[in-house]
Structure 1
Amino acid sequence: MPTQLQIAEHLGITQQAVSKTLDKMGIVEWQLLSLDQIRLAYIKRLREVAAGHASIDGQYDLNKERVMTERVDRELKQYQLAEKKKELVNVETLMTELSIVFQGMRQELLSRDDKLKTELDTLYGIDVDVSILNEHTTDVLNHLSRYLNGRAGSLPALGGNNEAAGENGDNGMG
């Protein structure tokens, strides 16, 4: 059973470096090994470090780091290619476009209520309360605005304010 001082002299390192070196080599029960076995494990470790398969401090596996870097580079190139092929969508641009589309749809649906009221009044000779139509339209618009995931800041609040819907939809036509 060799001592740490004997191992240090045999490997040509300081006694203080022996326990760290043995730990980096994964040798826990060094007392059960011969000096030759420890020397061979030490040489193997030095070769791995020299070949780039391991780092000196034992923190990094240099080959794994290289593989990870290559993977990231490949993924970035795939994104660049997809962008050039117009297969990627910029989320911010998409949300801006969706806000514009929803705003236009909102205006169309609200104006539809006024047109529908006028048509029903004319066809059936009755006075339809436009706020009833606005309430259903507002419910649909509120449901659709949830798809903007909190980005509906560009859309006016639709809330359950039926009085405002009635005032906006009535336009003195009723």
Structure 2
Amino acid sequence: MATQREIAEHLDLSERRVRDLLAELGVDHREASLDEVRVSYIRHLRELAAGRGGDQQASLTEARTQQALADANLKRLTYYRELKLLVPVEEIEPRLAGWAATARSEVGFAVDKLVAGIRSQHGIEVSDQEIDDALQPAYRAIGSYPPCAAGDDGEGGTTVGAAATKGDQGMAG
């Protein structure tokens, strides 16, 4: 029917742009009339103007997807708060610090009791340095738990609680 040159002249486009446009529209110029090509082109321009086509559509879709994910995460956090599955980091940090101090103290008392029992029952002497050398790694592990900064597992999520998910920074469950 119409040649690409005729279509280009009719739509006031370059032949190169007509080639690209026909491919975008899925129109075969050898089978479509000049009127059919023009109507397809007008519809294409309307779609672009309405923001439903081209690169703008991809950007808009991406922005909507990100917004939907952010809204879903916010709703999830709100839900977890309502169920009392989340505790603010400011509340949990002092509790963890207290637990670590208690654990260290209790482990120390238990080891002292064991050493005293071994000394009294078996007459075996164990040096305080050997005991300290054995306990220091445990004390360090207790004192540095969780291994990352509070509320951070090193991968963008939280470390405490089953309800914690990626992106829930600032709250621990």
Residue aligning to 2:3: 2
% identical equivalent positions: 24
8 A contact 1:117–1:130 mirrored in 2: no
Partners of 1:45 and 1:124 lie apart in 2 by 93
Structure of higher RCO (CA pairs closer than 8 Å, 6+ residues apart): 2
Partners of 1:113 and 1:130 lie apart in 2 by 12
Deviation at 1:26, TM superposition (A): 0.8
Name which one, 1 or 2, has greater alpha-carbon Rg: 1
Residue aligning to 2:45: 46
- Equivalent positions of 1:90-105 (< 5 A) are 94=92, 97-105=95-103
8 A contact 1:106–1:141 mirrored in 2: yes
Partners of 1:149 and 1:24 lie apart in 2 by 59
Q: In the TM superposition, what whole-angstrom CA distance separates every residue of 1:128-170 from its partner, at most 9, and x where no partner exists?
A: 3154554544454456567532559xxxxxxxxxxxxxxxxxx
> How many residues were matched structurally?
145
Deviation at 1:21, TM superposition (A): 9.4
- Equivalent positions of 1:27-46 (< 5 A) are 27=25, 32=30, 33-46=32-45
Partners of 1:100 and 1:15 lie apart in 2 by 75
Gaps of 5+ in 2: 151-173
Taking structure 1 as the reference length, the TM-score comes to 0.54
Which protein has the bigger helix share? 1
Partners of 1:107 and 1:44 lie apart in 2 by 77
Gaps of 5+ in 1: 153-174
RMSD over aligned CA atoms reads: 4.2
Taking structure 2 as the reference length, the TM-score comes to 0.54
> CA 1:105–1:46 in 2, change beyond 3 Å: closer, same or farther?
same
1:70 and 2:71 matched? no
8 A contact 1:2–1:31 mirrored in 2: yes
SS in 2 for 1:60: helix
Letter in 1 for 2:103: M
Q: In the TM superposition, what whole-angstrom CA distance separates every residue of 1:100-135 from its partner, at most 9, and x where no partner exists?
A: 4223211221233223333444x5273531545545
8 A contact 2:25–2:44 mirrored in 1: no
